Structure 1
């Protein structure tokens, strides 16, 4: 899995896709009803109407809306969680600089250990080489 920012970007992209899917579902499967007294349903040829809208029964449509809304809320909560664990929200600039300095010190110590291990390896290889060269056949 990627770093936190990548996870956050992926989650935001998924939320946007969910919004589009919700709008498409609602647009495709709503009942053709008027919302106000001045609204009118336009007359559309039957074959074009079937391509644009395929209404679901009201109970199925309402259940699907509830499920889509719950999915959106779940994704939004995931995004909030990812945002809350990002570094820097609860840390001041000085804290972040201190953390960076500590990490740099740890990196320097690890590099010194690595160099020591390389030196020891080279010494061991030199000793082994000397032993191998000193061995004679009987």
Structure 2
């Protein structure tokens, strides 16, 4: 599972791709019109645009997809931490989290020191036991 900011970035990338795809579709499939009466219509034998009904249906689908993706983006934005929280409250929370982190680091350091001490004691016991075994075999 990705974090919300990554989800938001992915959705924004998808939305930009949807915009591009929609514009490309419209550009490639629209019915050509004359800008002025004197313009000559040059037919393109390779261009087979969809019917008017099919074109409108596809536009409706593309716009629906864009609207749904936009709603998804807005939902993600609404769930981001800090939305609706003042700057002072956010700074206070950061300070509290920093204090918690410092306390955890202190406990970690103590635990590592205790581990080293216990490791040293175990090493000494192993040496003593091996020396005792060695002496009994002499």
Tell me, yes or no, whether TM beats 0.5: yes
In the alignment, does 2:26 pair up with 1:26? yes
| In 2: Cα distance, 1:40 partner to 1:127 partner | 99
Q: Which runs of 5+ in 1 are unaligned?
A: none
Q: Count matched residues.
A: 132
Gaps of 5+ in 2: none
TM-score, length basis structure 1: 0.80
Runs of 4+ in 1 over 6 A off after TM superposition: 38-41
**Aligned position for 2:100:** 106
How far is 1:98 from its partner?
A: 1.0
Relative to structure 1, is the Cα distance of residues 125 and 8 closer, same or farther in structure 2, using a 3 angstrom cutoff? same
The structural deviation recorded for 1:50 is: 4.0
- TM-fit CA distance, 1:41: 6.8
TM-score by length of 2: 0.80
Shift of 1:110: 1.2
Larger Rg: 1 or 2?
2
The root-mean-square deviation of aligned C-alpha atoms, in Å, is: 2.5
